[in-house]
Amino acid sequence: MSRNMTLWRLSFAVILLGLLWPMVPESSAGPLDQLTDLAGKATVVVTLKGRDNFNSEYRYDVSVKNLSADTFIGDSLFIVLDKVTNIGGEERENLNLDTILSRMEVLGQDGETQDGKPFFQIPAGSTTDLTPYSQSPPASVRLRNKDYLIVFTPSFKVLGQKRPPPEPKQTQAAPVQPVATPPVPSRNSVDKLIQLLIKKGVVTEEEWRKANQP
């Protein structure tokens, strides 16, 4: 086999491999990447709505309460199940030091953060934004306790985005009207006026001729 034929086959194989090689999708930005922690500006209101003792399942309504004078974009509000603590306020088990959250089965979550914590989006309310000192509709959170702990407490943090203030309207200056200049009489009009004055006897032709001499 000639050297040129070998190089041609190698080039063809490289091109074919490049076309058939599976493309690795670029990591797309998650829904929480552009949001900020609203600690101190917003808090959660957690209400236990139901309990299934047979399955050790608990259902909560979790709302966001705006504590600030800022307005937050409604569809940017998420709650993150940050930790679960036992009756002693500890978030890890005594034996294996696993987090109590890792022993919970979280149902109906909208996704997980990069460190594996479940998050839920706050549903839209009657208004598009969470206005100052108002409370959002609740998100439904269901937790199933694998270890059948008697008492545990879920803790959430709030993520969201502040609504930017509206841009000030630019006042447009009123257009300046050009000042009208009186029209300059044409030479023909001046001649007609002089002829009229001569005809009326106001001025004679001799007087007009002398007045126009340089």
Encode pLDDT of 137-148 as tens digits: 999 999 998 877
CA-CA distance, 154 to 84, in Å (whole number)?
Answer: 4
Q: What is the pLDDT of residue 109?
A: 95
Mean pLDDT of 27-38: 76
Beta-bridged to residue 43, according to DSSP, are 65
CATH fold for the domain made of 36-160: Immunoglobulin-like (2.60.40)
CA-CA distance, 37 to 166, in Å (whole number)?
Answer: 23
**Following DSSP, what letter does each residue of 175-213 receive, concatenated?**
PPPPPPPPPPPPHHHHHHHHHHHHHHTSS-HHHHHHHT-
Whether residue 186 has pLDDT greater than 70? no
Q: What is the pLDDT of residue 13?
A: 45
Whether residue 19 has pLDDT greater than 60? no
167 confidence band (pLDDT: 50, 70, 90): confident
185 confidence band (pLDDT: 50, 70, 90): low
CA 100 → CA 14, 57, 61, 81, 97, distances in Å? 52, 15, 20, 12, 9
pTM listed for this prediction: 0.64
Encode pLDDT of 89-125 as tens digits: 899 987 788 899 998 999 999 999 999 999 999 998 8
CA-CA distance, 125 to 130, in Å (whole number)?
Answer: 9
Q: Name the more confident of 194 and 76.
A: 76
Q: Name the more confident of 131 and 13.
A: 131
